[in-house]
Structures are given as structure tokens and as C-alpha cells.
Chains A and B, each alone.
Chain A
């Protein structure tokens, strides 16, 4: 099995490129969104404790939204992985399955 050949193939390079692109955006977005929570309640407290619905303030909704942010990112990842990453990976696997020494 020539692993370096697969590593240099256009298909594999394309797969790695789109994965890296997606991962970078997803990780940067979720990191910024998550760390904005402790920083904003720490340093922008007067703004964050403004009440929006009854006695519930912005800080509460922002913290609760983190759960949905995580689920939405996970959902997008699953969709992109199923539709864009898996078909390429499957094809590379099929094409090279024969040469596998084990």
C-alpha cells in the first residue's frame, strides 16, 4: 500500500482541504461564542442583567442559547460530514481496499 500516493492524490487533498475549512470555522465560532459568556457576564454585567422577559435577563438567555449553539453546530457538522466528507472518503476507501496489507 502506497500511503503517500493516496496522500498526494487530488481527491484526498480536496477532502482534507474542505474538512480543514469547515473545522476551522466551526471551532473558531463556537470558541468565541462560548468564551463570550463568562467574559460578558464578568465585564458587562450591567448590560447582561437587564430583564427581557419577566424576570429573566439577557445573561440567562445567553447562557441557555449556548446549549442550542452546540446542538446546531453539531447538526451542521453531521450534515456536512454525511453529504460532503463521507462520499469522498468512501470512494478513496473503495479504490484502495485491494492494496491493503494486513
Chain B
């Protein structure tokens, strides 16, 4: 048991619960519950997007990937920021201008609402489930390693926390949990980066000279992790397009009052996310130098402990007061990170079910505010319970591929349909449903028969299906449109959506 670590965890839990209590008084209408009453400022939302996006997988995972694989880990981290160009330029402002709470709102505007909302809710639930499961399993393993609390106990605890944040705090509470987490994470990364680079007088050349002197020049050369460039291109496609199709990221744009604020929020998020990933690379290289690959692998063979171990070593090493304090602090930051991401995912999943499926498909839009909020909160509880159950069932499984899968589904099923709905006049319901279904089935299917799941017996050669499934999603959306003639009048609605998306006229 690590008492200093547990103490810091308790402080973080207490702060977030106070926020949740405060937010629970502003949580009566659907706009408040799903979109924080559109009261979040651009800068606040920028921090919240960063907090929603920078998962434990990126903080601990990328630092570990670099500590063990050098250059290839660094190259992997690049796509996580470049993805925001697509978010900024193509998606954020049109979504804010023409939607209310979910991606399906934009589709339902000009397409037949029942089939497109059902399909969009299905893809959102699949993406959220995969991504959440990866986070839960990672969190359970991590907390066990950091604090010595049993895996099942950690999962149940995180599940209960995310249910509390979402059902009582709604979007307002979740947003502030994400903002605080982003602040803590940036502080931790800046602190460690200065410490590491300070040892080399902030001279990048002497830093890397020291590393290659110790680990060989090949540590700074590609090829240690990725043998096949096509694999990396495929992963890059899923990252770059998938980020713009991630439901928990899209949902954040509805919390700001205007499209201009949505733009400001992406710019802030890009500043934070970019500098965070650059710093993470220094932490990864620093961990390789100060801690060493073998010592990192001895604690966790995936390398996830690289950043916490670096903190411990810099602080004075195992058993020293400074070392244990820094380890506890970085571990607590990682814990806050997990909580903020799962809360965002829970909210996205419950909005897809409650707003898209229950209210607009089952009830045909005829449900009063009180009922809608009640259903959304209950869905949040159900999502949390399912996440706990799946997390416990997946104990000991290697679920790292689920993160890649979530991005593959988001890029193949959601992005073709979002882009066509906003930019292509002829697009219709047949195309939307076909695009979502084909994108969803092909990305999941190719992943299941690929090497990440089947190992050496794989029928599909790539572990990342994006390079095939993304074009399939676009093709299906195109063919579905061309081959069906829509009988309803929704095609006239394109002008309306197009004007709304581009000018913000009539935006809620």
C-alpha cells in the first residue's frame, strides 16, 4: 500500500466531488445536462477538450512507447495533434452551428430522422464502449500497480465515480473535472520536463547526445517498433480522421455559445495538446536515459510505468521522500486523467442512447424536459454499471487494440457521413445508413481478423484497418446515396443546413 499516493487520490476525489455537488444545482434542463447550458467559454472548453482527449493511454502509454522504442514512439505521438487540423477546419464550427447535443442532430436535420439516429446512436455506443473498456482495463491495472488496490476494487471505484460525476454533475460537472485534470496534467508534464531538460542545461543537442551515447544512435532511428510503413499510414488515417468523429470530443462543441467560441476552444486545445505531447516525448526519452528500459519493463512490460518511474528516480529514487512524493503525485495525475476521460465517454454514450434513441426514435421527439433528463441520468447509471461489468470480465486481457479500434470505427463510420451531410447536397438517408453500417462492420470485422486479435493466424495483414475501412465507409455512403432515390422532402433541407452550418444563423 502506498499511503502518500492514496492521500493524493483522496484529495483529487474530494475536489471533484465538491465540483459535482456545485454543478448538480445547475442540471435541470436537457441543455444543462448535455451541454452545460452552453455556458462554457472558449478557453475553458479548450482545456476541457484537452482533458477529455489526453487519456492515460497517451500520457503513460506514449511515454512508455518512447522509453522502450525510441524514435518510433515519438513518431506515433505526432498524429494525436495533427488530427486537430481536421477538427478545427472541417468539423467544429459546422457542428456547433447546426446541432444541439449529438452528431446525429446534424444528420437528422436533412435526412430521415429515425434510421439515421438509430445508426448514429449504434456507432456512438460501439465507439464509446470500446474506448471506455480500454480505459477501464488500463485504469484497473494502473491503480493496482500504483496503489496496491485490487483490480476489481479499482474498476468498481472508477465506475461509481463516473456515475456520480455524470448523473449529478452532468456536462457542467464533467467539464470542470476535465479542466482541472488538464491543468494538473500540464503542470506535471511541465515540471518533469524542466527537471529532465534542466539536467542538460536545456540544450536539446546535449540531451540527445547523452541518450545516444548511452543507448546507441539506433535509439533515435526509425524501425524499432513499426516494420511496415503501411501499418503506420493506416494508423495515422484512423487517428487523423477518427478524432473528428469521436463522440465525446464532438459533444464538447455544444457546450460553448457560438461557433467562434468553438474555434477558440480548438485553438487552445491544440496549444495544450501539442505542447503536452512534445513534453511527453522528453519524458519518454528521459525515462529511457535515467531509468532504463530494463527497469521499466521489470515493473510493467508494456512500459506504462515509464513516466511515474522517471518521477521517482528524479526525486531521489525508491524509498526516498522526494522520490515517493513525486511518484505519488504523477500517479494521482494519471488517476485524475482516467476519471475525466471515462466521465466524458459516459456522457457521450448516454446522450446517444437517451437523446437520439429513446427520445427521438422510440418517443418520436415527444418527451418533456423532466423525462428526458431523467432518462439521460438513468442511462448514465446503466452505462456505468455495464462499464464496471465489462471491465471486470476483461481482466488480464490485452485490450490496447481497442483504442485503435475506437478510432478506426469513428473514422470509418462517422466521418464519411458527417462530411457528406455538411458538404454534399445530393447525400441522402440511404447513403448515411449505408456509410455508418459499412464503416462500422468493416472496421470491427477487419480488426477481428487482423494480427492484433488473431496473432500469426491473421487473415488480414494489418493491425490497423483504417486504410481499407475508411475508403469503404466513404464508398458505401456514396453508393448508398446514388443507388437510392429518396421519397421524402428532406433534400430541400440541405440549403437550410448549409446556410446554418456556414453562418450560424438560427444556431441554438
B84 within 8 A of A: yes
B86 within 8 A of A: yes
A54 lies within 8 A of B205 (CB): yes
* Complex-state Cα separation, A93 to B337, whole angstroms: 40
Contacts A7-B499, A38-B232, A93-B504 known; A54 to B85 CB distance under 8 Å? no
Residue from the list B82, B232, B503 in contact with A92, Cβ < 8 A: B503
B498 within 8 A of A: yes
In the complex, what residues of B have CB within 8 A of residue A4's CB?
Answer: 492, 495
Contacts A4-B495, A7-B498, A19-B502 known; A55 to B209 CB distance under 8 Å? yes
B56 shortest CB reach to chain A, Å: 21
In the complex, what residues of A have CB within 8 A of residue B221's CB?
Answer: 45, 49, 57, 59
Name the CB-closest residue of A to B497: A3
Name the CB-closest residue of B to A4: B495
* Complex-state Cα separation, A78 to B75, whole angstroms: 26
* Residues of B201-224 contacting chain A, CB below 8 A: 204-206, 208-209, 211-213, 217, 220-223
A and B contact pairs by CB, cutoff 8 A, 22 listed: A3-B499, A6-B503, A12-B499, A23-B90, A34-B78, A34-B236, A41-B75, A49-B217, A54-B208, A55-B211, A55-B213, A60-B208, A67-B78, A67-B274, A67-B277, A74-B270, A77-B88, A78-B263, A81-B263, A96-B505, A97-B505, A100-B506
B503 lies within 8 A of A70 (CB): no
Residue from the list A30, A54, A73, A89 in contact with B209, Cβ < 8 A: A54
Name the CB-closest residue of B to A20: B423
Name the CB-closest residue of A to B274: A67
Contacts A70-B270, A74-B267, A93-B505 known; A34 to B229 CB distance under 8 Å? no
Name the CB-closest residue of B to A53: B205
Q: CB within 8 Å of A: which residues of B? A: 71, 74-75, 78-79, 81-82, 84-86, 88-90, 204-206, 208-209, 211-213, 217, 220-223, 226, 228-229, 232-233, 236, 240, 260, 263, 266-267, 270-271, 274, 277-278, 492, 495-496, 498-500, 502-506
* Complex-state Cα separation, A93 to B204, whole angstroms: 50
In the complex, what residues of A have CB within 8 A of residue B204's CB?
Answer: 53, 56
Name which of A6, A27, A48, A75 has the most chain B CB atoms within 10 A of its CB.
A6
Residue-wise, chain A 1-38 has the 8 Å CB interface mask toward B (1 for contact) of 10110110000100110010001001100110011011
In the complex, what residues of B have CB within 8 A of residue A31's CB?
Answer: 240
* Residues of A51-102 contacting chain B, CB below 8 A: 51, 53-57, 59-60, 63-64, 66-67, 69-71, 73-75, 77-78, 81, 86, 89, 92-93, 96-97, 100, 102
B82 shortest CB reach to chain A, Å: 5
Residue from the list B217, B228, B266, B504 in contact with A74, Cβ < 8 A: B266
B74 lies within 8 A of A70 (CB): no
In the complex, what residues of A have CB within 8 A of residue B206's CB?
Answer: 54
In the complex, what residues of B have CB within 8 A of residue A102's CB?
Answer: 506
A60 lies within 8 A of B232 (CB): no
Residue from the list A42, A75, A78, A97 in contact with B222, Cβ < 8 A: A42
* Complex-state Cα separation, A30 to B79, whole angstroms: 11
B274 lies within 8 A of A45 (CB): no
In the complex, what residues of A have CB within 8 A of residue B88's CB?
Answer: 74, 77
Residue from the list A38, A41, A71 in contact with B236, Cβ < 8 A: A38
A86 lies within 8 A of B505 (CB): no
A86 lies within 8 A of B260 (CB): yes
Name which of B82, B205, B240 has the most chain A CB atoms within 10 A of its CB.
B82
In the complex, what residues of B have CB within 8 A of residue A100's CB?
Answer: 505-506
Name the CB-closest residue of B to A16: B502
Residue from the list B75, B260, B274, B278 in contact with A38, Cβ < 8 A: B75
* Complex-state Cα separation, A71 to B81, whole angstroms: 9
B209 lies within 8 A of A66 (CB): no
* Complex-state Cα separation, A3 to B449, whole angstroms: 48
* Complex-state Cα separation, A69 to B274, whole angstroms: 11
Name the CB-closest residue of A to B229: A42
A77 lies within 8 A of B260 (CB): no
Residue from the list A6, A42, A53, A70 in contact with B81, Cβ < 8 A: A70
Contacts A38-B232, A77-B89 known; A59 to B222 CB distance under 8 Å? yes
B508 shortest CB reach to chain A, Å: 9
Residue from the list B86, B89, B217 in contact with A55, Cβ < 8 A: B217
Residue from the list A26, A35, A45, A56 in contact with B223, Cβ < 8 A: A45
Going nearest first, the 9 A-B pairs with the smallest beta carbon separation are A42-B229, A54-B205, A38-B232, A3-B496, A41-B222, A7-B495, A55-B212, A89-B503, A66-B78
* Complex-state Cα separation, A67 to B276, whole angstroms: 11
Question: Other than the known A35-B236, A56-B205, A96-B505, what 8 A-B pairs have Cβ atoms closer than 8 Å?
Answer: A7-B499, A38-B75, A55-B205, A60-B74, A60-B208, A60-B220, A74-B88, A102-B506
B252 shortest CB reach to chain A, Å: 17
